[in-house]
Homo-oligomer: A and B are copies of this chain.
């Protein structure tokens, strides 16, 4: 029960000072009156609540309201997308630049930042404009260069099919930033794709198989000398109201599935159907990321990859960093809340 009663909330932290379980289930209204745009209620346990009428409307339990609230309101895209592009200085130094970056990251999920220095560590400065970075088994800043005996094929010159990073973590990184420092090698185009768009197409084309990959989990794992991570997740997540709210797609890290025998064949048919959509040319954006550019994207929505490159033809060096989705949404909401005040 939300009381909005001044004596029930700690003033500086905003935390509840009561447990809803302690409110009698027989609590009733002693008096109620509307004062302008507020409703004032006195309860028979000597507490008092003041609800703005708009607050009551926002939190209405009606089905229509619940559905509207869980619609993420995204702009899905194919390879015709004109990538939203912003200058580094504007994003770093102006509230308008930050706001536009946050908005495009939220609705489109892919934003290019130009005019950056090629100094190592620049990518962390940009990340901290939103929040502290997320440290993973690959460290905080990771260097994408071709090295021998790599712990990840990202650190070779091999092509990388479209994928998301670190799905073997419970909460895979939300935002990913890739900063180009050197790009002299032949090949190595960056590729991006809207996985929510892929899922949406699959729902239209193959509703039965779509249902399978929202229900039968795949396994993502990372096994190494010092690591052993393994988790089950469905490739597509749909909320109770039918909105696509998550995609988990990273075939390179697929582990042994652990599903009932009668689901196995349908599972593989469904994964193949999704993969086929990710290979359609019209789904994929590809371009040459140039030194001084940072591509920023939502790793939980946008697949990324690269074409192979010739490591003998010149250097190629990217620096990457992650920020958690929680911190991104928090920044996005805080910014919008301030604006509407």
B150 near A16: Cβ-Cβ < 8 Å: no
Chain A residues 292-327 with CB under 8 Å of chain B are 324-327
Chain B residues, Cβ within 8 Å of A271: 20-21
Q: In the assembly, what is the distance between CA of A271 and CA of B16, in Å?
A: 16
A25 near B272: Cβ-Cβ < 8 Å: yes
- Whether, in the assembled complex, A94 has its beta carbon less than 8 Å from a beta carbon of chain B, the answer is no
Q: A-B pairs with the 8 shortest C-beta distances?
A: A171-B171, A21-B275, A228-B333, A61-B261, A21-B272, A170-B171, A12-B149, A19-B251
Chain copies in the assembled complex: 2
- Whether, in the assembled complex, A224 has its beta carbon less than 8 Å from a beta carbon of chain B, the answer is yes
Q: How far is the CB of A229 from chain B (nearest CB, A)?
A: 5
Choose the segment among A32-40, A62-70, A116-124 that binds chain B (4+ C-beta atoms closer than 8 Å): A62-70
- Whether, in the assembled complex, A15 has its beta carbon less than 8 Å from a beta carbon of chain B, the answer is yes
Choose the segment among A105-113, A178-186, A252-260, A281-289 that binds chain B (4+ C-beta atoms closer than 8 Å): A252-260
Chain B residues, Cβ within 8 Å of A325: 170
- Digit string of A207-250 for contact with B (CB within 8 Å is 1, else 0)? 00000000000000011101111010000000000000000000
- Whether, in the assembled complex, A30 has its beta carbon less than 8 Å from a beta carbon of chain B, the answer is no
Q: CB < 8 Å: which of B12, B16, B231 contacts A253? A: B16
Chain B residues, Cβ within 8 Å of A161: 19
A226 near B15: Cβ-Cβ < 8 Å: no
B25 near A252: Cβ-Cβ < 8 Å: no
Chain B residues, Cβ within 8 Å of A333: 228
Q: In the assembly, what is the distance between CA of A158 and CA of B226, in Å?
A: 42
Chain B residues, Cβ within 8 Å of A151: 12-13
Q: How far is the CB of A21 from chain B (nearest CB, A)?
A: 4
